[in-house]
C-alpha cells in the first residue's frame, strides 16, 4: 500500500514524487517509457522554474549537463530590438533550455534518490475503484504481465491525453481552442547570439542554446497553417528566417 502513486515520470510527475518522498511518504512512480527518453517539448525554463530547480538542489546538475545558463533575452522587431533580463524570482534571473532527454532523466533520478519506487516501461491500463473513490492502478509491465498496486491517492501526470483523468471522469475546464502550432530543429556550429524572439509574417522564430553546443529554433505558425507545414516540414523550418535572424 503506497501513500501515493504518480503516473507519468516527466517534468510534472518526477518532481511531485520527489517532493512527496522527501517528506517521508511512500511513493510509486511509473512511466510507459525507459529514460532517457525524448518528447515534444518547449525546452525553455523561465526564472520561476529555474528558481524551483535551485530550491530543490538540482540546478547545478542541470547546468553541469552542458546546458548553458541564459541571463539575457531579446525581442527582434526589425527596426529596433529589445534586449534585457527578466525580473528576479527569489533572487534568480537565470533561464535555461535543457533537452528533455537530459532534464527528465535527471528529475527521475532525483525522485529515486528521495526514496520513490521507480518503475519504467510500465503501462497503466486502468484504475481500481471502491465506492467511486480511486484506490490504485491496474498496469502492465514490459513483459506483458499485469499487476495492481494500491494507494491513498493516485496522481495523474500523464499528459494532455491523460488516462488517469479519463478513467477518473475528471471534468474539463478553462478550455481554449488551438491557435498555433510549433515545429523545431537543432543546429550545430551556430555563432554566438542573444537568445531571442523574432516575429515575422505568419510565424515567430525563436532561438536559444541547449545541451552539447546545439541551438534550438522553434517556429510558431498559426494553427490554420498546420496542414501546409506538415506537407514539407524542412521547408517550413528554413523558409523566411531561420537562425540567421538571431540578435547579434
The percentage of residues in the chain with a pLDDT greater than 90, rounded to a whole number, is 87
32 with 17, same domain: the answer is yes
Per-residue model confidence (pLDDT) at position 236: 84
Alpha-carbon distance of 28 to 80, in angstroms, equals: 52
- Burial label, 66 (beta-carbon count in 10 A; 0-12, 13-18, 19+): middle
What residues pair up with 74 in beta bridges, in sequence order?
Answer: 83, 196
Q: What confidence tier does 41 reach under pLDDT thresholds 50, 70, 90? A: confident
* Mean of pLDDT values over 204-227: 94
Pairing relation of β-strands 133-140 and 146-156? Answer: antiparallel
Number of domains the chain is built from: 2
pLDDT for residue 246: 41
Spatial contact of 71 and 93, defined as CB atoms under 8 Å apart? yes
User: At residue 237, does pLDDT exceed 90?
Assistant: no
Q: In the predicted model, what is the mean pLDDT of the chain?
A: 93
Q: Hey, how many other C-beta atoms are within 10 angstroms of the C-beta on 71? A: 14
Among residues 168, 185, 214, which one ends one of the domains?
168
- Residue 192 clears pLDDT 90, i.e. is over it: no
65 located within any domain: no
Same domain (yes/no): 221, 150: no
Question: Do 106 and 191 lie in a common domain?
Answer: no
Taking residues 39-57, report their average pLDDT. 95
Residues 91 and 105 in one domain: no
Decide if pLDDT at 42 tops 70. yes
Across 154-168, average pLDDT: 95
Compare 80 and 119 and report the one with higher pLDDT. 119
Query: Based on the domain organization, do 116 and 23 belong to the same domain?
Result: yes
Are 163 and 181 members of one domain? no
The average pLDDT across 34-51 equals 94
Q: What is the CATH number of the domain that holds 20?
A: 3.50.50.60
Check residue 92 and give its pLDDT: 95
Structure pTM? 0.91
Average pLDDT over residues 160-181: 93
Does a structural domain hold residue 63?
Answer: no
Contact 186, 178 (CB under 8 A): no
pLDDT for 118: 98
CA distance 76 to 197: 6
User: What mean pLDDT is predicted for residues 126-142?
Assistant: 96
Amino acid at each position: 500500500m503506497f501513500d501515493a502513486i504518480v503516473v507519468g515520470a516527466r517534468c510534472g510527475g518526477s518532481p511531485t514524487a520527489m517532493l512527496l518522498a522527501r517528506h517521508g511518504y511512500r511513493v510509486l512512480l511509473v512511466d510507459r517509457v525507459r529514460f532517457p527518453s525524448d518528447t515534444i517539448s518547449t525546452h525553455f525554463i523561465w526564472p520561476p522554474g529555474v528558481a524551483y530547480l535551485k530550491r530543490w538542489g538540482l540546478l547545478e546538475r542541470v547546468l553541469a549537463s552542458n546546458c548553458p545558463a541564459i541571463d539575457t533575452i531579446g525581442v527582434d522587431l526589425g527596426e529596433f530590438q529589445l534586449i534585457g533580463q527578466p525580473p528576479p524570482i527569489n533572487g534568480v534571473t537565470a533561464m535555461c533550455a535543457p533537452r528533455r532527454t537530459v532534464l527528465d532523466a535527471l528529475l527521475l533520478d532525483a525522485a529515486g534518490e528521495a526514496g520513490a519506487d521507480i518503475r519504467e516501461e510500465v503501462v497503466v491500463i486502468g484504475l481500481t475503484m471502491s465506492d467511486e473513490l480511486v484506490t490504485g492502478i491496474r498496469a502492465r509491465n514490459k513483459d506483458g504481465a499485469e499487476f495492481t498496486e494500491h494507494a491513498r491517492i493516485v496522481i495523474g501526470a500523464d499528459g494532455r491525453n491523460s488516462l488517469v483523468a479519463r478513467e477518473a471522469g475528471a471534468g474539463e475546464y478553462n478550455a481554449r481552442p488551438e491557435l498555433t502550432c510549433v515545429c523545431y530543429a537543432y543546429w550545430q556550429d551556430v555563432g554566438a547570439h542573444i537568445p531571442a524572439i523574432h516575429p515575422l509574417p505568419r510565424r515567430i522564430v525563436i532561438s536559444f542554446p541547449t545541451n552539447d553546443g546545439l541551438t534550438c529554433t522553434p517556429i510558431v505558425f498559426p494553427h490554420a497553417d498546420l496542414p501546409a507545414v506538415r506537407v514539407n516540414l524542412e521547408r517550413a523550418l528554413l523558409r523566411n528566417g531561420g537562425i540567421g535572424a538571431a540578435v547579434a
